[in-house]
């Protein structure tokens, strides 16, 4: 009787994939705990979520995309930020709707100070200051932090925009 043809000893492809997913999820959960402890609240300046006690979420700087994230750097705490659900994805002015974005000012990423940019053309359209929907984004620096969680001096225009956004009506 010939010897049976066995596949490689070890877990199947399905089991290996499940093990990788579990490891990746535990790494992401650990990073999220670090971010929640670091930021302690929504990092968007003057956000109205504090007054309304809105739910907080951890937002990735870069979304995973169809190719995945083989390097696993997407889930590093330096690429994660704590923001309210409105500024993350629910509001027309939010990170997921690409009308709001942030950039780190140091090599520490979100662990250090960041600068916030707003699509001012979409903001003008949503507030009724413009009549036509914009074709593409026009980025406006709405605030820059001196250190993580502490905003530097604001211009009168930045203050006016942030106060309007704090009302959470758009």
Q: Give mean pLDDT, residues 98-126.
A: 96
In a domain? residue 153: yes
Q: Are strands 139-147 and 114-119 parallel, antiparallel or unpaired?
A: antiparallel
The per-residue pLDDT for 1 is: 65
The per-residue pLDDT for 19 is: 82
Lowest mean pLDDT among 6-15, 80-89, 151-160: 6-15
> How many folded domains does the chain comprise?
1
Q: Give mean pLDDT, residues 8-37.
A: 84
Q: Show the domain range for 143.
A: 13-62+77-166
The per-residue pLDDT for 25 is: 80
pTM score:
0.85
Q: Are strands 100-104 and 150-151 parallel, antiparallel or unpaired?
A: unpaired
Q: What is the pLDDT of residues 31-72, one digit of tens each?
A: 999 999 999 999 999 999 999 999 999 999 987 654 556 566
Query: How would residue 144 be classed by pLDDT, with cut points 50, 70 and 90?
Result: very high
Question: CA torsion sign, 48 to 50 to 53 to 54?
Answer: positive
In a domain? residue 54: yes
CA neighbor of 82 nearest in space, from 120, 107, 50, 117: 50
Q: How many CB atoms lie within 10 A of CB 102?
A: 20
Q: Are 138 and 56 in contact (CB under 8 A)?
A: no
In a domain? residue 1: no
In a domain? residue 161: yes
Q: Are 108 and 78 in contact (CB under 8 A)?
A: yes
Q: Give mean pLDDT, residues 12-21.
A: 83
Residues pairing with 151 in the sheet? 145
Query: How would residue 101 be classed by pLDDT, with cut points 50, 70 and 90?
Result: very high
In a domain? residue 93: yes
In a domain? residue 117: yes
Query: How would residue 7 be classed by pLDDT, with cut points 50, 70 and 90?
Result: low
What is the chain written as a DSSP string? -PPP----SS--HHHHHHHHHHHHHHHHHHHHHHHHHHH-S--STT-THHHHTPPEEEEESS---TT--TT-GGGSGGGEEEEEHIIIIISSSSTTTTSEEEEESSTTGGGS-EEEEEEHHHHHHHTTS-SS--SS--EEEEEEEEETTEE----HHHHHHHHHHHTT--
In a domain? residue 88: yes
% of the chain with per-residue pLDDT over 70: 90
């Amino acid at each position: 009787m010939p010897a049976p043809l066995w596949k490689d000893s070890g877990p199947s492809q399905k089991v290996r994939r499940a093990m990788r997913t579990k490891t990746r999820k535990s790494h992401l959960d650990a990073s999220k705990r670090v971010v929640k402890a670091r930021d302690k609240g929504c990092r968007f300046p003057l956000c109205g979520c504090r007054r309304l006690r809105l739910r907080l979420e951890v937002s990735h700087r870069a979304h995973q995309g169809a190719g995945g994230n083989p390097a696993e750097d997407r889930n590093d705490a330096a690429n994660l930020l704590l923001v309210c659900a409105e500024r993350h994805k629910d509001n027309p002015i939010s990170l997921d709707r690409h009308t709001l974005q942030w950039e780190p000012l140091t090599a520490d990423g979100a662990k250090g100070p960041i600068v916030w940019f707003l699509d001012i053309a979409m903001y003008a359209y949503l507030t009724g200051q413009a009549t036509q929907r914009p074709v593409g984004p026009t980025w406006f620096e709405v605030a820059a932090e001196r250190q993580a969680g502490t905003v530097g001096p604001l211009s009168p225009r930045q203050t006016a925009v942030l106060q309007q956004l704090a009302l959470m009506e758009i």
